[in-house]
């Protein structure tokens, strides 16, 4: 294996480790938030809502300590995790000098942002 190939393999391994860690962290954060919300809902004997509240209502609900708003935040945290991992991957490609895949990852991010933007219209 040449020195360049060894560097390439090390870069790939670092990139994989970074992406895996972001996904695991996002998952753990979402589980903790949902566990808190569910525990509160059970203690207060509150039924789950049949619609996930919109972001502004979730923020207000969390300020009041509403169980359903906390559960909503848990659901949104998990939705945002792949988005966070894509940001990290795009930055890592850029730092490794892989401009082409940094650009492609950036384009994927942009499309995901458009989908979220469309959903807010």
CB-hemisphere CA count at 13 Å for 55? 7
Least distance between another protein and beta carbon 30 (Å): 8
Instruction: Determine, following the binding rule CB under 8 A, whether residue 7 of this chain makes contact with another protein.
Output: no
Tell me 110's DSSP state.
H
Instruction: Determine, following the binding rule CB under 8 A, whether residue 3 of this chain makes contact with another protein.
Output: no
Alpha-helical (H) ranges within 1-121 are 3-44, 55-64, 67-95, 99-120
> Could you list the residues that contact another protein (CB under 8 A)?
15-17, 19-21, 23-24, 26-27, 30-31, 34, 38, 47-52, 68, 71-72, 75, 78-83, 86, 89, 98, 100-101, 104-105, 107-108, 111-112, 114-116, 118-121
């Amino acid at each position: 294996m040449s020195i360049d190939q060894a560097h390439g393999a090390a870069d790939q391994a670092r990139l994989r480790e970074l992406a895996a860690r972001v996904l695991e962290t996002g998952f753990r954060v979402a589980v903790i938030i949902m566990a808190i919300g569910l525990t509160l809902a059970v203690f207060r004997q509150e039924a789950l809502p049949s619609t996930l509240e919109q972001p502004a209502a979730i923020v207000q609900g969390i300020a009041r300590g509403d169980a359903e708003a906390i559960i909503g935040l848990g659901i949104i945290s998990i939705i945002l995790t792949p988005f966070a991992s894509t940001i990290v991957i795009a930055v890592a490609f850029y730092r490794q000098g892989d401009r082409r895949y940094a650009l492609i990852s950036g384009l994927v991010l942009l499309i995901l942002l458009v989908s979220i933007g469309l959903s807010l219209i």
